[in-house]
Structures are given as structure tokens and as C-alpha cells.
Structure 1
Amino acid sequence: MMAPAAALAQAATDEGEIIVTALRRDTRIQETPLAISAVTGAMLERSGTTSFTDLTRNAPSLRIVDSGPGNRRVLIRGIQSSGEPTVGVYFDETPVSGSVSTSSDAAGSTPDFRLFDVERAEVLRGPRGTLFGSGSMGGTLRVIFEKPKSDRVEAAFSANMSSVRSGGYGGSVDGMINLPVVEDKVAVRLVGFYNRFAGYVDNIVYRRNDINDGRSYGGRALVRITPVERLTVDLSAFFEDVATDSPRWVAETGIDYATDGRSASGNYDRNRMYNGTVRYDFDAFTLTGVSSYFDRSRTVVGDVSDTFNGRDTAAGCRTYLQRNARACTDAELPGYLRQTREIQVSSLYQPQNVKNWINELRVSSAGDGAFNWTAGLFMEDRKTVVRSTLVLGDPQTGQLLSPTDPYNIRYDRTINDKLKQKAAFIELSYKFFDKLTLTAGTRYFDFNKVVGGRIDQGQIHYSSVVTPYQEVNYQEDGFIYKFNLSYQHNRDILVYAQAAQGFRPGGVNQVIGLPAELAGYSSDSLWNYELGVKTTLAPGVYFNVAGYRIDWDNLQVSARTSGTGSVFGLIANAGAARIYGAEAELSATPVTGLMLAGNVGFTDAKLSKDQVSTIVTATGRKGDRLAYVPRLTASVSADYTTPLSDTLELTMRADASHVGSSWSTLAPADVFRRFIPAYEVVNLRAGMQGPDGDWGVYLYVANLLDDVAINSASSSSNTGGKTLTFSLPPRTFGMNFTKRF
């Protein structure tokens, strides 16, 4: 690996020459003084990547808790807790948003657009609050799609077929066409896809197999207009529709990938995203204006039948109907028993909509002098509406009864959540002696959050009653900072030290009837202290390493009011965490046609203070490990291509990843805490292709070792104490055909 062939120097160097825009201006990745991983579209295609969940194989310390399409939580460096996202997820210039749902937890439902026809993906590790704003306190994940080209006609096509062990069949079709409209002035690029999910979860109650099959379809249209050389206008529209039953299964059945659910669970998601980006290149700087509108309509269905187990008794009538004031009479008991038994086959049916309008104006230096800078203004206006209803299921089939029939609805609550945010930011860099660069940045933020809600139909088992609309608001402003010192010893060695701050907005709890002094919770913030080295050991051999410490204060946590009779679940600020970690990445081309890559991340994330305040008592105590944060993650890959003739190449790829064990909640004494075991996943891919990549036929196997790779396991009163489990699919065989025109 230390002595790559001279003939490969140019090809190998290209990977290290990836140009990224993590500083909001173009820089070579090995000369960017940040912990950043980047992968080109060609690399994604070679590995068969179609979702950003697969990017965990390319970046250390990146963790995605995958609960199925539309239900993904993105974590970097162990920064995870309830509330707003801790990682900013961008598609081109647009940050995408999850729904706050009924638990104020927007981080748990990150949407995922399909990765086809991608220019590159970037994973920025560590706080990026000064340039990317709130939600980037742990880092930022960016996907940059290919843009229209006005000098050529081109097209691409990919077809995929797959079969899951003891499961169903899946398939997908992706296509792209690029059309010049006015030569060198206007071009259009159209991308579309259809995807059929292969089911593998069986329902043992109704004897139905592969219940989590489903489908998604969508696409995007992009227009690039360059009326003059210096001016670029990009317009885009994205659409995606997802419909699938939930892939969750229940550990207590004793059978992997099996559920004993009695009512429906699933996700039905429609995403629309529109963006206009205008860029004008002046001699000394570039002016960029961005306006984006994100519209997400989503219905989440979750089986909660087990919540009501054992309550259809006279004792239950006394507890829930009469609130322990007296026993139920002979006239009251039959009605209570009938209504309680009906909801023992029921689901929470939650339609929700997010509309987010985002505008940004920024100016960046040309980047060819000693002094470089970026400054800008940002505005966000997000509106969310969530309706949560308890809907009866058919006890014979488990299918949900019509949610439009009032008889089938046994609980009805509506939440309105509005977030308005304004910010101004600036980052300045100056290079001393042509080697030493000092960077300083700050961001001023001002946000206002308003939350209102009502209960139109109460539910005795939820201790809720009809409540008129109530509204509260919370406002906060402040500054965050970043300092970076880097030393470019030569083109092959870069050393940097950084102290950077990250934050996310506070808000208002959605709990109707909560005392006013408990309604609001403030933003939480952290400082990340980091030391890193980036090296080019030989032409085409890159080794980067970073170590860090994170001090996270005023955590937003799920909690309950303190004292006797505490009944209000809410988000509050309590406790602190300290995280130590290290990351290393290596890529190399040791012989002709062979590319090797590997990365490893170590994260020790624990509470440094008890989660106790004068207002709330949460579950965490000093020394508890943060939830869903494995101590060790690692991956390796090998990609080999060799010519068989002038018109034919053989290509082979193998990759393996390890994810360490973790826990689902903080406290060892928590009865709902679940252990998530470590797992390893091995994938193989091999095929024949044209020497110019204009066509290819590939066979692949995912999860070769058929490991039960659990990435999420949780329990609560809504599950009756059962463990809801989400995992990667079992061993999957497939075939892929690609063609470029």
C-alpha cells in the first residue's frame, strides 16, 4: 500500500483530489482542515449504494438508526437525544426536515431521497453550526446531485432484481436523461425511479408472510441556465412517494423477523421539494442566493394494541373509568369492557404535514488569496400539523378500519407547531507565511417557536379529556463560535486544531394542560475540541486521523415532572454529557485496478452530570452511556477491476463493516432498556462491464453471513413491554444491469 504503481498515480490521485464545498467554497478534500469524508457518484455506483443509510460504510462515527423508509435518525460522534435533529441533512442546497410528531422528536423521521445520478456525498463530522446552522451540532450530511449539462445529450439506466432469504422478491428501475435546450445556455436533466421493497417480516397471528413489502417511486427535474459565463441559475423539483408496512418485528416471539402485532403498522410518505439557486461569480467573490420549499405529507401507523392488555376487567374499570374513586356498577361495567376490548386491536393513525420555506444569501471569497471569507443571512419558516388518532382494527385480519368513520376513532388530538428562525453568519480565514491558517467564525441566531393543540376526543386509558385549543410560544437568540488553526507543512501533510460550537433550537412542549413554567425548553449546545492530521503517504495513498472531546451542556431530554403524581411527559433541559473519540481513514491503490479503503471510529459517550433539575427528573445519571451509540464502528472495502479483452472488464468488490453494541436508553434500572448486540455485515459484488463504463451486468449478495443485524430495539408502555426491533434484511441475492448512452 505504500508503493503504488507509477502508472496509477493519476487515477489514484483523483480520489484524493475530490473537490468539496464544506467551507461554502471549493476546496480540495485533503487541504480542507476539517474531519470530512467524501465519496463520488462513481464510487457509490460501484458499491451499489442507493440510500444514504449505506454511507455508514464510507465515514467513521456516522450512525443511522434505521426504522424503515422515512423513519431514520442520523447521528455523528454520538450526539443523540430527543428533540430537533443533531445532524443537518442536505440534498443539494436544501436541508430536509422530519416531522415533530407527537413527541417533539423531529430527528427520528429524516426523509431519504434515492441516490442515483449523484455527483458526490459529503459527511462533515463535528459541529458545523456557523455555516450550516442549527441541527448541525453533531455534523452535516450532504448529497450533491449531478447537474444538467448544456453541451451533450446523455442518458443512464439501471435495473435491479433481488431476493431475500425466507422472504420476498424486490426490484427497482432508475433512469436519467440529460437534454441541452439551448447549446451552452440551457439544459434539462430528468431522473425517475420505481422501487419495490422485498418483504421479510412475518405476522404469526394472522399467518401472513413478508408483510413489510412496499413500494416507492419518484424523481427529480433539474434545469440549469447560464445566460452569461459568470451567472448560473439552477432550478429543481423533487418528488418521492413511499408506501410500506413497518419492518419492525417483536423479539419476544422467539423467532427472528416475526411479529405478533394485532393491528396495522406502516409509513406512507410523500415528499416534494423545490429549489432555486442563483450564483454569480465576481472577480474577487461569489454571490449565492438560495430559496427552497419543502412539503412533506406523511401518515404514520403504529400498532398499540398491547397497551391495553389486561385492562378489560372489573379492576381496570375501577382504575381507568372511575379513576380509583369507586368500583364500577353493573350498568357501567359491560360498556367499559366492550370499549376496552375493541381497542385491544387498534393503531395510532397519525397524518402529519411539514411545510418548510428556507432562504439563504451568502457571499464567499474566490479562495485564491491569503484572506478568505464567507458571510451570509439565513431564514427559515417551518409549519407542522400533526393529528393523532386511535383507530380500531379488524380483529379478524388486523387491517385498520376506516379512519374517516367517527365510530372507529377512540382518541383524537391535533398539534400545530411553528418554528421561525433568522440567522447571520461569518467565517474568516487568513494564511500566514503561506502555511499557517487561522479561521474564526460566528453565527447569530434568533428563533421563535409556537406550539398549539387541542383534544377533540378524550381517551380514559390515556388520562385525556376534551380540551379546547391552547397555544404557547418560546423565543431565544444568541451566538455560537468556531476557531480553527491549520498548518499545511507541504502538499502531503496538513495538521489542524479546532474548537467549534454547535446548537439546536429549544421549543415548547406539546403537552396540553402542562403548567406554564414547564412549557418551554431552551436550546442545548456543545463545544467540540479536535486535533487532526491529513496525509498523503504516497501517490494515491491517503491516511487521515482525528481525535476529539465534546462537552455537551443543558441537554434536551425526555423527562417527567418531579414529585408525587408526576404524569406529564415532556422535553426539558437537564444534565450534561462528555464524549471522547477518535477516527481514522485510509484509502489506497496498491496495484493496477485495485482500490482499498477502510475506516474506524471510537466513541466513548457518557453523561457527565445527573439528569436532574428543580423541574424534572429524567432517567440518566452520571456515567450512563448515551443511547444508540456503539463504542466501535469500522468498515473495509476492496474494489478490483481488470481487463479481459479490449471490450470487456471483470470487476469485483467486497466490503465488510462492524457496528459495536449499544443500549436503547440511558439508565441500567430502566425497565424499558434494551441491549442492542454488535453485528458484522459482509457484502460481495462481481460482474462484467464495458471498459468505458457504458454498460455492466453484476451479481451481488448483501449480508453474506446472514447476521441478524439489529440497529434499533425499543420498548415502552405502548408496546406492553414488548421489544420492537428493526434490523437489516437477511441475506439478499440480486442482479444489477446498468447502461449509459
Structure 2
Amino acid sequence: MHKKSILIAGLLAPTLVLAQEGSIIDEIIVTAQKRETALQDVPFSVAAASEQQIRDSGATNVVDLARNFASLTIADLGPGQSQVAIRGISAGQVIRDQPGVKEQVGIYLDESPISIALFTPDLDFFDLERFEVLRGPQGTLFGAGSLSGTLRYITAQPKLGEFGGSVELSAADGSDTSFGGAVKGAINLPMGEIAALRIVGYYNELQGFMDVKGLNNEVVDEDVDTGSKTGGRIALTIQPNDSITITPRIVYQKLDTDGFPRIDEFNILANPYTTTQPAVTIGDRQQYVQLEEGLEDDFMLADLKMEFDFGRVALTSVSSYTDREVIVTRDATSLTGSVSFDIGFPDIVRLDSALVDTTKLKAFSQEFRLTSSSDGPIEWLIGAFYQDVDRDYSQYLPTPGWDDATGIDNSTLNAVTDSPFFSGLDYQFKQFALFGEATWHFSDMWALTAGVRYYDFDEDRILNFGGAFADPTVDLPGSTSSDGFSPRAILAFNPSDDVQLTAQVSRGFRLGGINDPINLPLCSPEDVLIFGNQQTFGDETVWNYELGAKMQFADRRVTFNVAAFYSDIEDLQATTDAGTCSSRIVFNVPKARSVGVEAELFARPNDNWDFGLAATWVNAELKSSVTSTSGGQTVVVSGLAEGKQLPTAPELQAVASVGYSVDFSSDMEGFANLTLQYVGSSFSQFGDNTDNFGVITSQTGFPGSARLIPYGAPNTSLIRFGAELPAYDLGNLRFGVRKDQWELAAFVNNLWDEQAYLALDRERGRSARVGYLTNMPRTYGLSFHLGF
């Protein structure tokens, strides 16, 4: 670990809101137990950051923000395609053609579930009240998908009798980026004495920084990964009396990108080794594409929250409806061209070929719960949850001229002309659950919390495959179902008002699913045997054992929180590349384990200085192997071997912050915030952590390597690339002045212009292309925030 890493290791806790007056750290209220509770009183590990803290940290999206929280990591596959892991529990990168895989971390907008395994909504942070991270299994109260934890965007709600709002303007440029900026606004409108309306709107011009290299070995297009994010919400609160509150709301966001932040490490169409094709050297923050790539994500949420207070008992109803469409377009010329070369058509390798993935999602959920008042020694909550999801997924590979050039008519293979691959999958998913939790304060210092959730789900799928690259399949049905219980028990000891010690056991679960068939025409006989008979995958479960402590010292000027955990994982749903098949298959690994420690320290020694430190150490690995018999030999499947590190999450992650403020006058102050982040090395998938994975070769003697396709008569028979994503450090600086209700700030993000590798991207098992998803270069700019 180099010097910057040593400096950073162990360091911020944005779990704590800074005091604006005095030296005592302010209390923050969270709803991690579906009732309002002070953060330090929640008997398990929770973190939260306010909108101001997010702004001070320099985070502009959920990937940036994740580095500011202990135990939280996100694999970034580009805007709108992030995947979340908590406490090292991850089954690997979910690829675009795995629509049946469920999430391991639940994502909520207030109380509405919005998570999808691959497409975590990249919501804007404007007008947030706070962002919550609930660590450890939350299956009892939050259900499936909260296997290792839950993330919650908590928005500011309409306020009765108050007129006010805010406006925010920002502009940014960079050392190697396009210009970007944002315009955002929110207004709270009282409507008589019993109602209020809150309207929020925003527009973000996203900066691009990836350049395209041409066959002339020169840059032919710059900043191709620009984009925009536009959205808003309208919420109406109606409170006819103190006992009834009704809040209907509509949320909308549209995310458009023109490309992806992918660095091409190797591409059969453009590399320095070819001799009969133009030799091309692709540099830092560069890629080779023949077609425009991008993502379109239309997200709409309509929800209705109704609260009825009957005195000793309160009834809450939350109804949610989500309508979302995501279209991802990628340049698949290297993929299609590699297959064309292999089947005897070397002259059409460069035919333009786009891979178009479309996801259409309509989801309805309903939750009812009864909650006791906080009076008395026992607090309880019971509820019911129902969810109905319709999801249509399709994938096309339009390659104009392919049919004529090959003599293969794809329209006779359950596809359309010039599309050598097609898939269409219709999912019907239904889930029902009953849950309850109670806390018994059986003395002034001791409390016992116990809860359980019963769940029952069914999933049906109709599959259509077609085209020359697939095994044509028409209306093939598939189904899976499951039910079970998810309990939790917590013992809390409070020897004083400033100290809480806890012991917890809890269970989380991720629902199983249905694997897609492999692409038989592309598969070797060995891969057909290994991957060809995995029709479904079962539920993944975690039993978590945890000890924690939350403490405050020095008249609450210092806060220290720490938790140690041991998680037994059963039937981990591991994503694997199906060898030569250009397919993905999920296997259940019987046993895995994650053990670690997370710690947070925050100090405000006086009115001028704030310090924060947070770190996570985690050892997450497989405790059993998945094997198959091929050619009379027993082989480990795709790196699923006992002792292998779980992908995505690093062993060490840390962050530090230093804040300074000084009064210029009685109502104006200057401020500065420095945030330093360290993220350790990791792998994107299990198979990446195997011998020779980083080798592409035509030689023998490299088991596990990728095959070098001899397009362009390369002058080498061996190419190497880094399979492990190296550790990286980032620094953000923000400084400015604030007076009364306005703030003017300058910022520099990624201070030393670190190029981080966030995820590995591959086509056709690395033989067609290998690349890395990367981060934004150094950016600098100004922001202005006005509250009224």
C-alpha cells in the first residue's frame, strides 16, 4: 500500500450530521426500524448522510457516495448500471443478459422498493433529507433482496404551513472532460391549513471523458460518454387532523447517456498486434467503437402513503407502482465479428453490429403495518406485504448485411433478418409476506428485539430464443417458487445514555430464479456438459452473527461506532461466464463466509474543526467448491473453488474527512472540506480470480486462458492483461462561503487525477474484447445553493 493509502486507511463517518452551532454533534433521526429512532439508539449498524454532507463530500452519484460509507461498495458498469454490495457479500458482476437475477441489497425511495439487480436507479441527491445505509441482513422488515443490507433515499416531505424552497446551480469542467453542470429547484407551497405541495425539478448535463480511437490510430471522437439526467417529483400532503396524514406522490427521472466509460484493453478490431489490419494503440481513457453506444432509462414511480394514528396504535399503508423502461445499446461488432471469423466469414468481421437490450418493468407493491406507540416497555410492529412484477426483456443483434454475406436466413430461425441473435423473456413474479418485530425494554439498561418474516413467492417465465448464434426456442415455459422464514433477534445493553452494546443474529435471503439456455451453436462440447443442465438456481440465504458498540465521549463531541460480524452464506448465487458459449449461468455455491469489522470515528473538538474516520476490513470467501465432470476429469467450474475471495468487494476500504470553518462576520462563514477515499483491490467475477484468466493466447499450456482469435494475423501468440482490479485512492476538496441561506462553493474532485478500474468488461469470454469501466478524471467547478 503506497503512502496515500497508509494516510487514508482507517478513515470518515458521514453517519453523523455536523453541528451548525456549538461543538456537540447533532442527533440524526432515522427510520431503519420503520419508526423514528435516533441513530445512536438503533440497535444495529446504520449510517446516514444528509444532503449537505453529500454535497460536501463531492459525491455526484451513488457510486461516488458509496466510498464514504464503511462496508458499502458498488461495482460501476456505467451510469444507471451499478451493483451494490455490503460487508463483502457479493456473488459477482451481473451482466446485461441476466434479467432473472435478483438483487442482494434492497434499494428504497422512502418506503417504496425500486431495486433491480443490474439497474440500480441512479437517482439525483437533490432535496434529500438523508441517505441511509442499513448494514447486515434486513430480511425481517425489508424482505427479499435485503440479504446483506438496505439502501434508502429519504426525500424531504411537504411541510404544512410553510412557504420555502431552494435553488441550486453548478458548472464543472475538467482536465480531460467535457463541460457539465446542473440546474435544480424545489418549492414547498402551503395549501390552506391542512395541505402542502412540494415540487422538485432538476436537470444535469453529465460530463464525458472517453475518446474513440480510429483505424488511422488517431482520436476520431472525443468525450463520447456524455449524457443528461432530468427529473423531478410532486408530493402532496393532506392532514385533515392530527390523526390522519395522506401523501400521494409522483417521481420521474430520465437518464440518457451517449456511451460508456470503458477503456479498451484489447479489441480484435483495433489492437497493436495486427499485421493485415491497421494496427491501433488504444491509450488511457480511450476505446474503439464503430457504433454509438448508450443507455436510456425512463423511471416513473407513483406511490401513496396513508398514516392513521389511533393513539396507542398507528396504521400505515404504502402503495407503490413503478413503470420503468431501460434500453442499453452497445457496439457488439467485436462479438459478432469474432463469431463470423470462426464460422468461416473473415471478410465480414467489421460489419456494424449493435447489441440492444430492452427491459420493461411494471411493478405494484402494497404494504400494511400496525405500529404501537413508544409508551410502555414493549414496542411492536406487524405487517403484510404484497408485490406483483411484470418484466419483459428482449435482446437483438442487428447486423445489416449479415444474412446476405453468410447465406443464413435468420428469419427462419425465430429471429428477424440480419439479427443472428434474439432473445425474448417474459417474467411474472408475485410475492407475499407477513412480518413482525417487537422490542421489550425489560429494564432501564436492557432491551430484547425479536422479529420474523414469512415469505412466499412464485416466478413464471416464457422464453424465446432465435438466430444463428442461439438454439432456436419458441415459448419455452419455466418456473420457480419458494417460501420460508427470516428471523432476527437483538440484545441491547445501555449502561449509560452514551453507550450501547449489542449482540445480534439475523437471517437474510435472496430469491432464486431461472437460468437462460446456453447458446449451443457457439459452445464447445466440454462447455455444453458443464453449463448445459442448470435450469434454475435456488434461494441464497445468510445467517449473520454480530457484536456492536455505539459510544459518545467528551460531552458528545466524539462518537465511535464499531461492529464485528460473521456471516454464513448458503447457496450463494454465483454468476459465471459459460466458457465459449457467450452465455451467463448462475450456480449455487453451497457454502461461503464473510467475516469483518467496520469502525467509525467522528470528532468535533471545537466550533472550527470536524474530523471523520471510517474503515472496513472484511474477509469474504467461498467455503466449498462447485465441480463438474468433463472428459472423465473433475474440474472446478469458473473459479468457484473453496478459498476464493468473493468478487466486487475489497478486503479493505477506508475514508477520511477534515472540515474547517471560520466566521468572517456574525452571519457569514468560510468553510473547507477535504475527503480522502481508499478502495482496495477486487475482482469482478469469480472466474477472474483464477490462474491464466488474464491470458489471451493461441499457445497450449495455459489452462483457463482465453483463445486468441487470429483475425488480422497478429504478430504475437500471447497477450496479457490485469484480471485483478487494483486498489485506488481518490481525493475531493470543496471550499467556499455561506451566509444565512445561501452558499457559494468551489470544488475539485479526483484531486490527483486517479484512473481507477471499477469493473472488468469482456466480450465472448475475453476473446473478442476486454476492457475496464473507469471513473471521472479530475474535475473542478462552482456551485451555488440558495434556500428561501
Counterparts of 1:387-398 in structure 2 under 5 Å?
387-392=394-399
Deviations 1:607-661 (A, max 9, x none): 1101237999443101111111211000011222221123422111111000001
Q: Which residue of 2 aligns with 1:209?
A: 222
Q: Deviation of residue 92 (structure 1)? A: 0.7
Does structure 1 residue 241 correspond to structure 2 residue 254?
A: yes
CA distance in 1, matches of 2:685, 2:284: 22
Does structure 1 residue 341 correspond to structure 2 residue 357?
A: no
Q: Deviation of residue 723 (structure 1)? A: 2.4
Does structure 1 residue 272 correspond to structure 2 residue 300?
A: yes
SS of structure 2 residue aligned to 1:358: strand
Mean alpha-carbon deviation: is it higher for 77-86 or for 654-663?
A: 77-86
Does structure 1 residue 527 correspond to structure 2 residue 543?
A: yes
Q: Deviation of residue 282 (structure 1)? A: 2.3
CA distance in 1, matches of 2:603, 2:648: 31
1:477 partner letter: D
Q: Deviation of residue 43 (structure 1)? A: 2.3
1:734 partner letter: G
Q: Verify the 8 A CA contact 2:213 2:282 in the aligned structure 1.
A: no
Structure 1 gaps, min length 5: 2-6, 99-106, 318-335, 396-404
Deviations 1:431-457 (A, max 9, x none): 1221111111111110001111113x4
Q: Which residue of 1 aligns with 2:40?
A: 30
1:707 partner letter: E
Does structure 1 residue 626 correspond to structure 2 residue 646?
A: yes
CA distance in 1, matches of 2:75, 2:746: 28
SS of structure 2 residue aligned to 1:44: helix
Q: Verify the 8 A CA contact 1:129 1:137 in the aligned structure 2.
A: yes
CA distance in 1, matches of 2:552, 2:724: 40
Q: Verify the 8 A CA contact 1:202 1:259 in the aligned structure 2.
A: yes
CA distance in 2, matches of 1:681, 1:567: 35
Structure 1's 312 and 227: CA in aligned 2 closer, same or farther, altered over 3 A? closer
Deviations 1:500-537 (A, max 9, x none): 11001112223289999742221110111110100001
SS of structure 2 residue aligned to 1:227: strand
SS of structure 1 residue aligned to 2:650: coil
Does structure 1 residue 301 correspond to structure 2 residue 329?
A: yes
Q: Deviation of residue 558 (structure 1)? A: 2.9
SS of structure 2 residue aligned to 1:30: helix
Structure 1's 202 and 501: CA in aligned 2 closer, same or farther, altered over 3 A? same
Structure 1's 243 and 567: CA in aligned 2 closer, same or farther, altered over 3 A? closer
Q: Which residue of 1 aligns with 2:675?
A: 655
Q: Which residue of 1 aligns with 2:408?
A: none
Does structure 1 residue 551 correspond to structure 2 residue 576?
A: no
Q: Which residue of 474, 479, 495 maps to 2:480?
A: 474
Structure 1's 568 and 238: CA in aligned 2 closer, same or farther, altered over 3 A? closer
Q: Verify the 8 A CA contact 1:264 1:393 in the aligned structure 2.
A: no
Mean alpha-carbon deviation: is it higher for 370-379 or for 254-263?
A: 254-263
Structure 1's 224 and 49: CA in aligned 2 closer, same or farther, altered over 3 A? farther
Q: Verify the 8 A CA contact 1:422 1:445 in the aligned structure 2.
A: yes
Mean alpha-carbon deviation: is it higher for 351-360 or for 252-261?
A: 252-261
Does structure 1 residue 498 correspond to structure 2 residue 504?
A: yes
Aligned residues: 688
2:106 partner letter: G
Q: Which residue of 2 aligns with 1:683?
A: 732
Q: Verify the 8 A CA contact 2:176 2:778 in the aligned structure 1.
A: no
Root-mean-square deviation over aligned CA pairs: 2.6
Does structure 1 residue 134 correspond to structure 2 residue 152?
A: no
Q: Deviation of residue 730 (structure 1)? A: 0.7
Q: Which residue of 2 aligns with 1:665?
A: 685
Does structure 1 residue 734 correspond to structure 2 residue 781?
A: yes
Structure 2 gaps, min length 5: 1-10, 12-17, 95-100, 267-280, 403-414, 521-530, 631-635, 694-704, 707-721
CA distance in 2, matches of 1:29, 1:312: 58
Q: Which residue of 1 aligns with 2:557?
A: 540
2:565 partner letter: Y
CA distance in 1, matches of 2:416, 2:583: 28
Identical pairs, percent: 32
CA distance in 2, matches of 1:97, 1:373: 27
Q: Which residue of 225, 231, 235 maps to 2:238?
A: 225
Counterparts of 1:319-718 in structure 2 under 5 Å?
340-341=348-349, 343=351, 345-392=352-399, 407=417, 409-455=419-465, 457-459=466-468, 462=469, 464-511=470-517, 518-538=534-554, 539-559=556-576, 569-612=584-627, 617-666=637-686, 667-669=689-691, 670=693, 671=705, 674-690=723-739, 692=740, 694-717=741-764
Q: Which residue of 105, 111, 118 maps to 1:87?
A: 105
CA distance in 1, matches of 2:129, 2:59: 13
1:442 partner letter: V
SS of structure 1 residue aligned to 2:685: coil
SS of structure 2 residue aligned to 1:55: helix
Structure 1's 649 and 394: CA in aligned 2 closer, same or farther, altered over 3 A? farther
Structure 1's 540 and 567: CA in aligned 2 closer, same or farther, altered over 3 A? closer
Q: Deviation of residue 57 (structure 1)? A: 3.9
CA distance in 1, matches of 2:55, 2:639: 44
SS of structure 1 residue aligned to 2:66: helix
Counterparts of 1:167-182 in structure 2 under 5 Å?
167-182=177-192
Using the size of structure 2 for normalisation, the TM-score is 0.83
1:665 partner letter: Q
Does structure 1 residue 291 correspond to structure 2 residue 340?
A: no
1:593 partner letter: N
1:216 partner letter: K
SS of structure 2 residue aligned to 1:108: coil
Q: Verify the 8 A CA contact 1:306 1:720 in the aligned structure 2.
A: no
1:243 partner letter: D
Using the size of structure 1 for normalisation, the TM-score is 0.88
1:350 partner letter: D
Q: Verify the 8 A CA contact 1:612 1:618 in the aligned structure 2.
A: no
1:248 partner letter: R
CA distance in 2, matches of 1:217, 1:495: 44
Structure 1's 628 and 277: CA in aligned 2 closer, same or farther, altered over 3 A? same
SS of structure 2 residue aligned to 1:715: strand
CA distance in 2, matches of 1:50, 1:227: 38
Q: Verify the 8 A CA contact 1:452 1:510 in the aligned structure 2.
A: no
Deviations 1:553-610 (A, max 9, x none): 1111235899xx9997532323321111100001121111322212101111111101
Mean alpha-carbon deviation: is it higher for 633-642 or for 487-496?
A: 633-642
Q: Verify the 8 A CA contact 1:674 1:714 in the aligned structure 2.
A: no
Q: Verify the 8 A CA contact 1:451 1:510 in the aligned structure 2.
A: no
Q: Which residue of 1 aligns with 2:719?
A: none
CA distance in 2, matches of 1:65, 1:55: 12
Q: Which residue of 2 aligns with 1:400?
A: none
Q: Deviation of residue 199 (structure 1)? A: 0.8
CA distance in 1, matches of 2:205, 2:51: 23
